[in-house]
Chains A and B, each alone.
Chain A
Amino acid sequence: MPNILLVDDDAGFTDATSALLSAEGLNVCTASTIAEARSLLESGTFDIQFVDLALPDGSGLELVDKRSPRTVIITGHPSVETAIRAVRDRVDDYLVKPLNKADLLSAILTPAQAKATTEGSGRFAGMVGESPQMQALYSELERYGPTNVTVLIRGESGTGKDLVARALHEIYAPKEKFIAVNCGAIPAELIASELFGHEKGSFTGATGKHLGFFERAGNGTVFLDEIGELPLEQQVTLLRVLENRTVQRVGGDRDVKINARVVAATNADIEKAIAAKEFREDLYYRLMVLPVDVPPLREREGDVELLAKHFLAQAADEHGAPGEFADAVLDALQRHSWPGNVRELKHTVLRSALMCIGNNKVDQLPVGFERPPALSGDGGLTVGMSIREVERELIMKTLDHYDGNKTQTAEALGVSLKTLYNRLNEYEASE
């Protein structure tokens, strides 16, 4: 728990606040003057200081410098907002009196911790789940979040890797930028320019200087989703960026220092890609400093019901759908194996909820929910088919099942949209 320094000359405030925060398990020291606070700051280690602006021996801002712990200014002068803004880069937050306990606690906790506290044990920074697997994941995120070390998030499609990346960012640098990049969605010829930037005139169409994602993220986070789809040529450059913490814009000859934290994610089996020489082993180990595995929904005991009710509550709020499941529907949802994970559950609940608007309960599931179409039958699997033919058959049947919806098809198959498009283009070319 954080160590807190409370600097205010009003004993009625410091005594009560100190007792309240101590009851929350926080360590609190108090000071009534700048001199007393300085002495405590020199001798103790504080994570955060709450400083009243008007102190008997000067302005509380005198306690703010480069060596200060996280600082929250408290003031009874609401009109000093402008003055605080002027030193905003050195002050983390400011609160206007009268305060309450919730104000203080929310300033002490990072946004992710505050969310986790207020949302209850089954929720963490936008994620829902109380299974032991998710509790373990939340603990990992709390441990890894405050560091700037590179994290590789691994998990099947639809497990919520993007939410995990965002949670890490919320703990690490909530006020900074979070830039999410889908490495599989950017055309290969543009990816270097988008990631690393380019100088004016570096290629046809480069009419001005362009900052890449790493530079634009500043002190925040660059989230490289589907890192397995990054072309080999850019993998070399990314490795250099991670090792040197500098980027060189396309067409430039100068190294630009970067501060952003890098979080990458993949649903692909990167070790297989390494064996097939499609992914660089050195980059893999450079990204793997802190690996985080997001469990598939089928392994998260008890979370299907929790998540289904969460998504249904959203549908009820947004679309006026019924707020309850019929028992049979809830049973069917819990029996399903969810190959598309949380994303598939979310879409299924939404479709069911919309189908049942006007009913008392959600008592229907989308057609074919429990019985996915078999591959056998006319044109199905037969002995002697090649793996390639089986793959094509599977892709076309799945595409047909989802009425040609490529996003849903890619999710169900556990491949990226780019991979699906590549396969479909191959099939078209071979016809």
Chain B
Amino acid sequence: MTDLSDADKAAIRENVHTINNALNVVSMQVELVRLLANDATAADKVAAAIDTVLDECQKAGGVASDISRIIKATG
């Protein structure tokens, strides 16, 4: 990582932050789904939680690709 520019390092730090935030939302939404799993009237909330989880996973995947690109570009 010593070859990375300060801007690249900052970008990686920011992306790690974004991934952690996304995983945080995933973690809590999954806990919520577990809580609602036995509630027959909570189907809409469960569906919304699953949509959120999928969005956050896509977000995390996107920034993980950005990190790969930065590292690849610096050789």
Q: Is B32 an interface residue (CB 8 A)?
A: yes
- Give the size category of A's interface with B: 10 to 19
Q: Which of A16, A19, A76, A98 neighbours the largest number of chain B CB atoms within 10 Å of its CB?
A: A16
Majority DSSP secondary structure for residues of B touching A: helix
B24 touches A10 (CB 8 A): yes
Q: Is B31 an interface residue (CB 8 A)?
A: yes
A79 touches B13 (CB 8 A): yes
Interface residues of A in 58-111 (CB under 8 A from B): 76-79, 96-101
B8-36: contact bitstring with A at CB < 8 Å (1 yes, 0 no)? Answer: 00000100111011011111110110010
B49 touches A97 (CB 8 A): no
B residues less than 8 Å from A348 (CB atoms):
none
Binding site for A on B (CB under 8 A): 13, 16-18, 20-21, 23-29, 31-32, 35, 49, 52, 56
Q: Is A275 an interface residue (CB 8 A)?
A: no
B23 touches A98 (CB 8 A): yes
Which residue on B lies nearest to A53, using beta carbons?
B17
A100 touches B17 (CB 8 A): no
State the CA gap A97–B17 with chains docked (Å).
9
Q: Chain B nearest CB: distance from A162 CB in Å?
A: 38
Q: Chain B nearest CB: distance from A365 CB in Å?
A: 47
Q: Is A20 an interface residue (CB 8 A)?
A: yes
A20 touches B28 (CB 8 A): yes
Q: Is A23 an interface residue (CB 8 A)?
A: yes
State the CA gap A79–B16 with chains docked (Å).
10
B31 touches A76 (CB 8 A): no
* Cross-chain contact of B32 among A20, A97, A99 (Cβ < 8 A): A20
B residues less than 8 Å from A77 (CB atoms):
13, 16-17, 20
* Cross-chain contact of A17 among B17, B23, B28, B49 (Cβ < 8 A): B28
Which residue on B lies nearest to A104, using beta carbons?
B28
Q: Is A427 an interface residue (CB 8 A)?
A: no
* Cross-chain contact of A98 among B24, B35, B49, B52 (Cβ < 8 A): B24
Extra contacts besides A10-B24, A12-B56, A13-B24 (8): CB < 8 Å: A13-B28, A20-B31, A20-B32, A20-B35, A76-B16, A76-B18, A77-B13, A97-B24
Instruction: Give 14 A-B contacts (CB < 8 Å), ordered by A residue.
Output: A10-B21, A12-B29, A16-B28, A16-B31, A16-B52, A17-B28, A20-B32, A54-B17, A76-B16, A76-B17, A97-B21, A98-B20, A98-B23, A99-B24
Q: Chain B nearest CB: distance from A103 CB in Å?
A: 9
A99 touches B27 (CB 8 A): yes
Interface residues of A in 1-52 (CB under 8 A from B): 10, 12-13, 16-17, 19-20, 23
Which residue on B lies nearest to A97, using beta carbons?
B24
A76 touches B35 (CB 8 A): no
Q: Which of A23, A76, A100 neighbours the largest number of chain B CB atoms within 10 Å of its CB?
A: A76
Which residue on A lies nearest to B28, using beta carbons?
A16
A residues less than 8 Å from B21 (CB atoms):
10, 13, 76, 97
B residues less than 8 Å from A10 (CB atoms):
21, 24-25
State the CA gap A319–B23 with chains docked (Å).
43
Q: Which of B16, B20, B23, B26 neighbours the largest number of chain A CB atoms within 10 Å of its CB?
A: B20
A residues less than 8 Å from B27 (CB atoms):
98-100
B24 touches A19 (CB 8 A): no
Q: Chain A nearest CB: distance from B61 CB in Å?
A: 15
Q: Chain A nearest CB: distance from B12 CB in Å?
A: 11
B23 touches A97 (CB 8 A): yes
State the CA gap A79–B32 with chains docked (Å).
28
B residues less than 8 Å from A13 (CB atoms):
21, 24-25, 28
B residues less than 8 Å from A100 (CB atoms):
27-28, 31
A residues less than 8 Å from B13 (CB atoms):
77, 79
B49 touches A16 (CB 8 A): yes
Closest 5 CB pairs of A and B: A76-B20, A97-B24, A98-B23, A12-B25, A16-B28
State the CA gap A10–B27 with chains docked (Å).
13
Q: Which of A12, A23, A54, A96 neighbours the largest number of chain B CB atoms within 10 Å of its CB?
A: A12
B residues less than 8 Å from A23 (CB atoms):
35
State the CA gap A17–B28 with chains docked (Å).
6
State the CA gap A189–B13 with chains docked (Å).
61
Q: Chain B nearest CB: distance from A294 CB in Å?
A: 39
Q: Chain A nearest CB: distance from B2 CB in Å?
A: 17
Q: Which of A10, A77, A98 neighbours the largest number of chain B CB atoms within 10 Å of its CB?
A: A98
B residues less than 8 Å from A20 (CB atoms):
28, 31-32, 35
Q: Which of B23, B25, B56 neighbours the largest number of chain A CB atoms within 10 Å of its CB?
A: B25
State the CA gap A96–B56 with chains docked (Å).
18
